[in-house]
Amino acid sequence: MFKAKSPNPLAAVALACIATLHPATAGAANPRAAEAAGATLFRDKGCAYCHGANTQGTPKGPSLENVRKTMKPAQIADQIKNGGQKMPSFGDSLSDTEVDELIAYLRAKHRPAPAPLPPAAPAAQD
């Protein structure tokens, strides 16, 4: 008769601990890098168009300045991926990593500035 090996209890505890962490922190070697990447995504993916360059809100979208106090990471992820109310869904245009980086940025106590834009290419001359 085949007898299965009993699982390693230490490994089970480690996996349980990892599973309870949010994806943005579970795999991120550097949370500051995730926040910085999220700042650049916020600008480059159009979030700032509705929510303002500094998350202050605009007539098109609400302020996100205190979102870290009002929404849990899973709620933010759901809002980004599925939209709701007037917000469109971005689940098809953002990877899970990008969503995690946006969450890291939005939940940062001191939000970093986005990376500088690359210099514009010179205009072609005929």
Domains recognised in the chain with CATH numbers = 27-107 (1.10.760.10)
Q: What three-state secondary structure class fits 116?
A: coil
> Which residue positions in the chain have pLDDT lower than 50?
1-27
Tally DSSP H helices, then E strands, for the chain: 7, 0
Q: What is the pLDDT of residue 126?
A: 64
The position carrying tokens 């980086």 is: 101
d(CA 13, CA 7): 11
Find all residues with CB under 8 Å of 98, minimum gap 6, and list them: 41, 45
Q: Which pTM does this prediction carry?
A: 0.71
Q: What is the pLDDT of residue 85?
A: 87
Type of residue numbered 126 = D
